[in-house]
Amino acid sequence: MKRSTILAGTFFAAVAANAVAAQPAKATAAGPDFKALLKQTAAAWQTLDPAKAAPFYAKDATLAFFDIAPLKYMGWSDYQAGSVKTFAGFSSLKIDFNDDMGIHRAGNSAWGTGTGRAEVVNKDGSKAPMDFRWTTIWEKRGNDWLIVHEHFSIPAPDLSPPK
């Protein structure tokens, strides 16, 4: 498997290149449309510019973000720096979500889960398609709902013996 395929998980990124500008969701009594918020976050990542995704994330240095590689990022600064390195070999990234997205809310926290299909196009023109899983946890901070934890992964290949 090509290294960029494995690292492609380091980004998510998104449903439409012309998506809404990256802005965290403002708190309301009912809360934001978290499904739309997840898609907007993915759209920001699709630009291959982590600065566009930054407004969606809390900046605490102690927050863990799990991606395909490396094992984990600690804090937004680490996540952003690692993403810049990963994206250096990409010319584009597209993510489409399946229709299984689920959202759950408890007070000032919410979490979303979903699966989808991503395609990385490398600068050499090669393509790296992959299925993915994505879990995001938001926390209401002041007037914003910010991501405080994220886990992005791809399923392991089928390791069962051939028939």
Task: Identify the structural domains of the chain with CATH numbers, from first to last.
Answer: 3-153 (3.10.450.50)
Report the relative pairing of strands 144-153 and 90-97 from DSSP bridges.
Answer: unpaired
pTM for this model (two decimals): 0.81
Collapse the DSSP code of 83 into the 3-class scheme (helix H, G, I; strand E, B; otherwise coil) and give the result.
helix
Q: 112 has which bridge partners?
A: 103, 136
If you ran DSSP here, which 8-state letter would residue 30 be given? S
Helices marked H in the chain: 3-7, 34-46, 50-53, 75-87
pLDDT tens readout for residues 79-90: 999 999 999 999
pLDDT tens readout for residues 31-82: 799 999 999 999 999 999 999 999 999 999 999 999 877 889 999 999 999 9
